[in-house]
Amino acid sequence: MRRPGNGFSPRRRRSGYRPRRPPGRYRTGGGVVDGSELLPVGRRVAYWRGRRKLSQQVFADRLGRSKSWVDKIERGVRSLDKVSTLRDIAAVLRIDTAVLLGRDARPATTTARMEGVERIRAALSTYEMALGRPATRPAVPAGRVVRDVGHAWVQFQYARYPQVVDVLPGLLAGVQRISADDHESNRPLLVDVYRLTAALLVKLGEVDLGWLAADRAMATGAGDPLLVAAATVQLGQVFRASGRPRAAVSASLAAAYRIALLGPDDGGPGELSLCGTLLVQAALGAARRGDDRATADLLDEATGMAAQVGDGHDHHRTAFGPTAVDLARTAAALDLGDAGEAVAWHEQATRRDAWRWLPLEHRAAHLIDAARAYLQADDPANAGRVLADADRMAPAEVRHRPAAGEVLAQVARTPHAPATIVTLAAALGVT
């Protein structure tokens, strides 16, 4: 016989209790959501407690409550009617109160992203090799680690951020482990994985943690101008994202000119791509500071280098070339407050065949900038169009980037926003 109103049998549940209905992904009117959202609040508490691998006793201890109290909450015998109690529970479970109440339609994105970031944070927080601790598992063969890092970069450039989040903790551990045996030979690989980590974390809005990864890349590459230059690309991104454009300009120029000092014999396409990308980073930092003259000079200098490299290349993971520089002009014009010029550069650059040669991540990120430019130019119809293009091209760029969510919300609030944009904004809870 079931107890009325709660859907549970009256026998006492054990601390290992799981909800009857598997908390998978279900389709609702607002989109695909995690099954935990369809549960009563007590069952949601049980679901998230299970996700966090907490027994009822440990959970109760952290709340300063009894195990019996937790059991009654989860079975629906007691109600949760105090906001302060809900906040305490959400804090222990490391979720938003809105998720606990079933008002957040984003567990498949926001919650998964938060959990993934925590795993990356844990991977960056381990120092087993430096501290001389024995490895807990056998080292992965170096050749396999190299292939895995390369594959993760490809996933990133296809804007498959959830997949990269999943593999990064293991990659960090694997690269650190083989670097402990032969640090000098594996320095480029270690810089590469730290760069990838920083680039991903900036995308996900985790700038402080991205700064740590970029700093690790810089420290690992110290003494090698090319490794330092490659790491500085992500450091410049971190500085701009954290509101430090002056530091972005300074660091990028220092690394760029250090490459220039290598001499003409060392100035191949790879070096030119790094130097040009750093000049672009410096230009974007200058634009963020409102320095239009420095922005123009730096972009013009980068354009000269891009002409030598050409389009369709990806030296040092930069995708540097003439089209990439013109896309940067869109972002720079936007930061300088000239939406009309930003739109003009966007429309010119995206008409080229070379536009389609750029990584999906690069193109989708640019389209979000273009949507901002159209909004500022009082053209919400085109803003909605390019944002919808970005979502078709690389859904994770729109659905996992907090910065993209802000643009999406602005477009969705315009009077004639496309239905697809309004629906997406509602599903993501950013209206």
Q: Structural domain boundaries of the chain?
A: 25-100, 106-222
Residues 6+ apart with CB under 8 A from 313: 269, 273, 319, 320, 321
pLDDT at position 100 over 80: no
Q: Give the architecture (CATH level 2) of 25-100.
A: Orthogonal Bundle (1.10)
Contact between residue 22 and residue 35 where contact means Cβ atoms under 8 Å apart:
yes
**Which stretch of 187-196, 257-266, 359-368 has the lowest confidence by average pLDDT?**
257-266
Quickly count: other Cβ atoms within 10 Å of residue 172's Cβ: 24
**Percent of the chain clearing pLDDT 70 (strictly above):** 82
Interior CA angle at 175 toward 171 and 177, to 5°?
A: 115
pLDDT at position 26 over 50: no
**Mean pLDDT comparison of 175-189, 263-277, 364-378, 401-415, highest-scoring range:** 364-378
Determine the pLDDT at residue 141: 82
Beta bridge partners of 26: 33
Quickly count: other Cβ atoms within 10 Å of residue 57's Cβ: 12
Strand 25-28 with 31-34, pairing: antiparallel
**Which stretch of 103-117, 163-177, 214-228, 334-348 has the lowest confidence by average pLDDT?**
103-117
User: Which token pair is 214?
Assistant: 């970029």
What is the rounded distance in angstroms from the CA atom of residue 172 to the CA atom of residue 181? 15
pLDDT at position 31 over 70: no
Determine the pLDDT at residue 52: 83
Residues 6+ apart with CB under 8 A from 41: 80, 100, 101, 102
**Which stretch of 50-54, 127-131, 254-258 has the lowest confidence by average pLDDT?**
127-131
Determine the pLDDT at residue 105: 40
pLDDT at position 317 over 90: yes
pLDDT at position 127 over 90: no
